Amino acid sequence: MQTDALSGFDSAVKAISKSSRVALIHDLDADGISSGAITYNALRVLRGKKPELLITQTHKTTQILPQSMKKIRSKKIDVAIIVDFALDQSPQSLKELGQVCKTVLVIDHHKDYGYPQNERTFIIKPQHFSQVEPSKYPTSKLVFDLFSRHVDLSAYCWIASIGLMGDNQLGQWRDFVGESAKASASSVEQLSKCVDIITAIETLAPKKLNELLLFIASSTGPQKILASKYAGYLKTMDKKLDSLFEKFKKEKEILEKQGLVWFEYKSKDNIKSALINKISNELYPGLTVICVQDSGKNTVSFSARRQDFKVKANELLENAVRGFENAGAGGHVPAAAGKIMKKDLSEFKARVIELLG
């Protein structure tokens, strides 16, 4: 299994050449942006030219959206590389991409949804070759380790550190982060501030994520990010986060028996990951925390956290949305998310409580 996965990855990479037409598609959070930046640079070094297409989708999803497929077709892409989202959770979408592109390479650390691999489609996840629990092996570190088998990426170790800290995994990789801080003449605190900058752009100016990824990929070190125009978003972000955090403290609901902390709020900003990370890390690492965001549409989105692994947040949410129309959920054991129609919210909550017993 171990050699299979790594040698399969190696063959997929060796088949990418200067004449290949490559698209890179990434997730939108700090790990997704960082793994995108590292993969972008790895491809540039590997083939002496940048990818033909960098796709930043309009919202978080495990699918390749129709407008992305259109770009892939019109740019005559034959190699598609997907980082940090489980495209195998959307088998129809993955199949469609496999019919258009000669090679599809998915590099991800979410649950393995058991998509049947074939000569055109190769999926690699930590669980295929490593003992590290997949949520603790963020895609930034994964692409850094995997592509380092082919090209020297040591100048970008700080980007891998930013990405893995974005997925809350400093504890797992403390030595690596310490070394990359030293190598980039920065500190863990500065790298952590870069995470906050990416999260602020994801929340307040998601249309800028594509240019931010390119900016990070071309930066010589974290200082460039800290001194950039993007850092200007931090203040607004902190303000919004603090005010929701205060609201949480007053309005949260705690269900002792289920070990559940439940919070519903309204916001037009896509702020729920940042908010729930703060709540879970600072107040309730040992309880199941669920935050439900109403953005004024006919759907609501939600996130769940459970850091002691005693509840599988991804399976809890997947089971709680089963059968609902226009609904979806997924993610990691300690961190997951999804959305449902607003009309199903009370049934969703009842199911969560029931599932937690």
Residue 31 binds to Mn ion (criterion: CB under 5 A):
yes
Residue number, 63 or 77, with CB nearest to Mn ion = 63
Q: Minimal distance in Å, beta carbon 140 to Mn ion? A: 8
Q: Name which position in 5, 84, 180, 339 contacts Mn ion (CB under 5 A).
A: 84
The amino acid sitting at 30 is A
Cα of 304 vs its chain's centroid, Å: 14
Give the nearer residue to Mn ion in terms of CB position, either 27 or 344: 27
Q: Can you state the angle between helices 188-204 and 209-218, rounded to 10 degrees?
A: 150
Residue with tokens 């965001």: 293
- State the minimum distance, in angstroms, from the CB of residue 278 to Mn ion: 18
Q: How far is the CB of 3 from Mn ion (least distance, A)?
A: 25
**Angstrom distance (rounded) from CA 94 to CA 82:** 10
Of residues 9 and 263, the one with the C-beta less far from Mn ion: 9
Q: Residue number with the shortest CB distance to Mn ion?
A: 31
Taking the least distance from each CB to Mn ion, the nearer of 171 and 296 is 171
Stretch that binds Mn ion, among 9-17, 77-85, 173-181, 256-264 (CB under 5 A): 77-85
CA 219 to chain centre: 21
Tokens 């070394």 map to which residue?
Answer: 179
Using CB under 5 A as the binding criterion, the count of chain residues that bind Mn ion stands at: 5
Q: Which of residues 120-149 bind Mn ion (CB under 5 A)?
A: 138-139
Residues 244-263 touching Mn ion, rule: CB under 5 A, are: none
Q: Site for Mn ion (CB under 5 A): which residue of 51, 83, 156, 167?
A: 167
Contacts of 170 (CB under 8 A, 6+ apart): 164, 177, 188, 192
Contact indicator for 206, 28 with CB cutoff of 8 Å: yes
What is the footprint of Mn ion within residues 296-335 (CB under 5 A)?
none
- The Cβ-side half-sphere exposure at 17, using a 13 Å CA radius, reads 3
* Best CA proximity match to 335, nearest among 136, 191, 193, 139: 136
Is 167 or 344 the residue whose CB approaches Mn ion more closely?
Answer: 167
Contacts (Cβ under 8 Å, ≥6 apart) of 269: 203, 204, 240
- Residue closer to Mn ion (CB basis): 202 or 344: 202
Residues of this chain that bind Mn ion (CB under 5 A): 31, 84, 138-139, 167
